[in-house]
Chains A and B, each alone.
Chain A
Amino acid sequence: MKQETPVVWPSAGVSEVPYRIYSDPSIFEQEMMRIFEGESWSYVGLAAEIPEAGDYLVTMIGRRSVVITRGPDGAVHGFANRCAHRGVKLCRQHRGNARFFVCPYHQWSYDARGNLRGVPFIKGVKGKGGMPEDFDRASHDLPKLAVTERNGVIFASFAEPPPFESYLGETNLRYFDRVFDGRQLSLLGYSRQLIPGNWKLMFENIKDPYHASLLHVFLVTFGLFRADQESQVQMDDTGGHALLISRRGEQKKSDATSDIANLREDFVLSDKRLLDPVKEFPDDATVVMQTIWPNLIVQQQSNTLALRQIRPRSPGAFELAWTFFGYADDDEAMTTRRLRQANLMSSAGLVSADDSEVIKLAQDGVDQYPDHVGVVQMGGRGTENENHMVTETAVRAFYTHYRRVMGL
């Protein structure tokens, strides 16, 4: 049997990516520790999902289940979803309202902060049993998360990352605030899918505007995303976060479409209500896809607004958990528009289906050739911001940050 050797990054740098990082179990373990359990802010939910005191939701940071609660004082807390006693999963429901979190096994109970409040038979029964004299209840609280909230979006961490604002950087923060501008959000619903691919392939996909103008025949056919449109790719200083910003065009043939094998110029919608986008943000951008290290995609495609949370499961699989939202002050027509446009983006999306399918095919390929390397050289080998879409610069920037965090 071949000896397992540690991953060595190609000397070319981030313009090449070793396929091994998509399938190696030891790399995956390192990622969970260094990235998801390290100094990063993971998206965990919306304030609108837990509006009342006692509300809670269960979500994931990396592979770990966590509980996010709203305490009696209205503050948001987070803790590990496992009992301090025998490690049993505490919450079995995705959402709910509870004053105490009681373990089903021996009924240890915790409050909204994750503090241990009750241990049955702590003093024993009829003078028999019970916890040792020196058992200190206060030292068996649940592992607590750092929690931060910005304009209704909640992030949490097992570590103590820098303040969210400086974590995101100036440009990324500005675009984050463009969608989350302080208005009350309204929850429209969820869509969840288990994608048989490595979690990084999802980030690569969203950070790569080159593919969008080729693979997504639906988008290109209807002029929603095209290589000749005015656009920008912008990263933060670390390279971990990125923005793809673009503007809608026409349904017509041009230079930018001549390389597309399957363009359907003659595709006219039978019911035009499917695509009836209206301008709703002050700038002219009609698509802004923001990727926030390590687990979030913020999507504005015309009037569909969604958060896509990445939940790695194993080297070869991740869950993509979508949360669709609008604003509490949307009128009925706007809500309907958002719901109709969601046909393009979900686990059955007319556009996003291309991505989940291609990620599966990518995993099929890289799994079988771990010693080979991939090429990431569209638009050069650098990691600068760009004002066009024919580039993989944000993928290279992502791997620059990844290598730093992973020590690779």
Chain B
Amino acid sequence: MSLDPLEQRRLEELYAIYGELLDDGPLEDWPSLFTEECTYLVVPRDNFEQDLPLAIIRCESRGMLVDRVRSVQETIMFEPRYLRHQITNIRGTKRDDGGIDVIANYLVVEVLPEDLPKILSVGRYLDVVVEEAGELLFEEKWVIYDSVLVPNTIVYPL
């Protein structure tokens, strides 16, 4: 079942906040957009299509998202960079259990200090969004990237 205009607006708001937290922070708030038992996977398109289970980022709980954020902030050495998420074509379908299956496109542009902006990643989100205590949260998020060859390193989540 498709969403009514109000539901669609709430859903788009979730994606707007999602992009904003990753691009402008605070990054440590990003895990709060997920349920406690969430799944977050970043998977190259060829693995996805061949049913190969390897994800380049695999988080199986909100705790793992927190650990990823803390590593980005405290342990990984990387050149400073700016990311800009463009999330479009957000389409949700309501399930019988009240959850929403969502498909969306994304494009992330990366800016390194001495370089022209470039596309870091392009692909789609295959998500399940649920409502908990009046808030929409990601229960599942699959980031399937078409741009299989990563330009150097993915540091921040997509």
Contact = CB atoms under 8 A, between A and B. Distances in A.
A347 B71 contact: no
Given A191-B56, A192-B149, A342-B54, A271 B67 contact: yes
Contacts of B71: 218, 350
A354 B56 contact: no
B17 to A, nearest CB: 22
Q: Which of B60, B77, B149, B153 has the most CB atoms of chain A within a 10 A radius of its CB?
A: B153
Contacts of B68: 343, 350
Contacts of A408: none
B57 A343 contact: yes
Interface stretch (A76-84, A227-235, A355-363, A385-393): A355-363
Nearest to A273: B60
Interface in B54-76: 54-64, 66-68, 70-71, 74-76
Contact of A189 (B47, B62, B78): B47
B52 A262 contact: no
Nearest to B54: A189
Interface in B68-99: 68, 70-71, 74-79
A407 to B, nearest CB: 32
Contacts of A192: 44, 148-150
A340 interface: yes
Ranked nearest first, the 5 interchain pairs of A and B with the lowest CB-CB distance are A189-B54, A270-B63, A271-B63, A189-B52, A348-B154
B151 A194 contact: yes
A347 B150 contact: yes
A225 B103 CA distance: 41
A339 B153 contact: no
Nearest to A347: B150
A343 B60 CA distance: 11
Given A188-B54, A271-B60, A350-B71, 6 more contacts: A188-B52, A192-B148, A340-B60, A343-B58, A349-B56, A357-B76
Contacts of B26: none
B13 to A, nearest CB: 27
B78 A339 contact: no
Interface residues of B, number: 38
B74 A267 contact: yes
Contacts of B64: 270-271, 273-274, 343
A179 interface: no
Interface of B: 42, 44, 46-47, 50, 52-64, 66-68, 70-71, 74-79, 114, 148-155
Contacts of A194: 149-152
A349 to B, nearest CB: 8
Contacts of A94: 46
A95 B60 CA distance: 30
Contacts of A271: 60-61, 63-64, 66-67
Given A262-B74, A270-B66, A339 B150 contact: no
B69 to A, nearest CB: 10
Contacts of B60: 271, 273, 340
Contacts of B63: 269-271
A196 interface: yes
A41 interface: no
B57 A348 contact: yes
A187 interface: yes
Contacts of A364: 114
A217 B77 contact: yes
A385 B59 CA distance: 39
Contacts of B74: 217, 262, 264, 267
Interface string A321-361: 00010000000000100011011001111100110111011
